Structure 1
Amino acid sequence: MIETLFIVTLLVSIYMAWNIGANDAANSMATSYGSGALTLRQIIIIAGILEFSGAFLFGSRVTKTVGKGIVPIEHLDPTIVTIGALSAILSAGLWITIATYYHLPVSTSHSIVGAMLGFGFAAVAEDLIPLESIKWGVLYKIALSWVVSPLTGALLAFIIFSLIRIFILSNMDVDKVEGVFRYLQVLTACYVAFAHGSNDVANAVGPISATFGFSETPSWILALGGLGIAIGVATWGYRVIETVGKRITELTPTRGFSAEFATATTVLSASYFGMPISTTHTLVGSVLGVGFAGGLASVDISVVKRIIYSWVLTIPAAATLTITIYTLMVVFI
Structure 2
Amino acid sequence: MRTGRSFHTLDKDLGRVTNTEAAQRHAFRPVWRLGLAVLLLVAALILATAFGLGNTDYAALAAGLIVAGWLGLAIGSNDVANSLGPAVGAGAIGLLPGLLLVALAEVAGASLAGGAVTDRLANGIIDARALTVGIEAQIVMLSALVGAAAWITTATGIGLPVSTSHSIVGGIAGAGMAALGTSAVEWTTLAIITSTWLIAPLIAGAVAGLLVIFVRLQVLDAADRAAAARVWLPLLVGAMSGLFASYLVLLARPRLPLLSTMPMVVPAGVAIALIGAALMRRKVNAELILSDGKTGSKRLFRPALLVAATMMGFAHGANDVGNVAGPLSVILAGSATTGSFVMPVGALLMAGLAIALGTLLFGRRLVVMVGSGITRLNAGRAFCVSLATAATVLASSALGLPVSTTHVAVGGIFGVGFAREWLDRRRNKSRSPMPAEETRRRMLIRRSHVATIAAAWVVTVPATALLGGACCLLILRLT
Deviations 1:125-164 (A, max 9, x none): xxx34x2331011111111111111000011001101110
- What TM-score, normalized to structure 1? 0.87
- 2:179 pairs with 1:154: no
Distance 1:194 1:255 in 2: 20
Counting only pairs closer than 5 Å after superposition, residues 1-333 of structure 1 correspond to structure 2 as 1-33=56-88, 37-38=92-93, 40-76=95-131, 77-100=133-156, 105-123=161-179, 128-129=180-181, 131-171=182-222, 172=225, 175-211=295-331, 212=333, 213=336, 215-237=341-363, 251-295=377-421, 301=446, 302=448, 305-333=451-479
Unaligned runs of 5+ in 1: none
241-250 or 314-323: which moved more? Answer: 241-250
Task: Judge conservation of contact 1:288–1:299 (CA < 8 Å) in 2.
Answer: no
Task: Judge conservation of contact 1:16–1:90 (CA < 8 Å) in 2.
Answer: no
Distance 2:94 2:156 in 1: 20
Deviation of 1:243 (Å) = 8.6
From the superposition, tell whether residues 48 and 298 of structure 1 become closer, same or farther in structure 2 (CA, over 3 Å). Answer: farther
Q: Say which one has the larger Rg.
A: 2
From the superposition, tell whether residues 234 and 325 of structure 1 become closer, same or farther in structure 2 (CA, over 3 Å). Answer: same
Seq. identity, %: 36
Deviation of 1:278 (Å) = 2.4
107-116 or 323-332: which moved more? Answer: 323-332
Deviation of 1:52 (Å) = 1.1
Distance 1:208 1:85 in 2: 7
Task: Judge conservation of contact 2:86–2:376 (CA < 8 Å) in 1.
Answer: no
Distance 1:99 1:37 in 2: 34
From the superposition, tell whether residues 21 and 328 of structure 1 become closer, same or farther in structure 2 (CA, over 3 Å). Answer: same
From the superposition, tell whether residues 196 and 102 of structure 1 become closer, same or farther in structure 2 (CA, over 3 Å). Answer: farther
From the superposition, tell whether residues 159 and 242 of structure 1 become closer, same or farther in structure 2 (CA, over 3 Å). Answer: farther
Deviations 1:234-293 (A, max 9, x none): 333467668977799761111111011111111111212222222222112112222333
Task: Judge conservation of contact 2:128–2:341 (CA < 8 Å) in 1.
Answer: no
Distance 1:105 1:288 in 2: 18
Unaligned runs of 5+ in 2: 1-55, 227-293, 422-438
Q: Which amino acid aligns with 2:166?
A: H
Deviations 1:187-231 (A, max 9, x none): 101001101101110100101212314743222211100111012
From the superposition, tell whether residues 247 and 104 of structure 1 become closer, same or farther in structure 2 (CA, over 3 Å). Answer: farther
For these two proteins, the number of residue pairs brought into alignment is: 328
State the SS of the aligned residue for 1:197.
helix
Deviation of 1:298 (Å) = 11
Distance 2:402 2:125 in 1: 12
State the SS of the aligned residue for 2:295.
helix
Task: Judge conservation of contact 2:175–2:470 (CA < 8 Å) in 1.
Answer: no
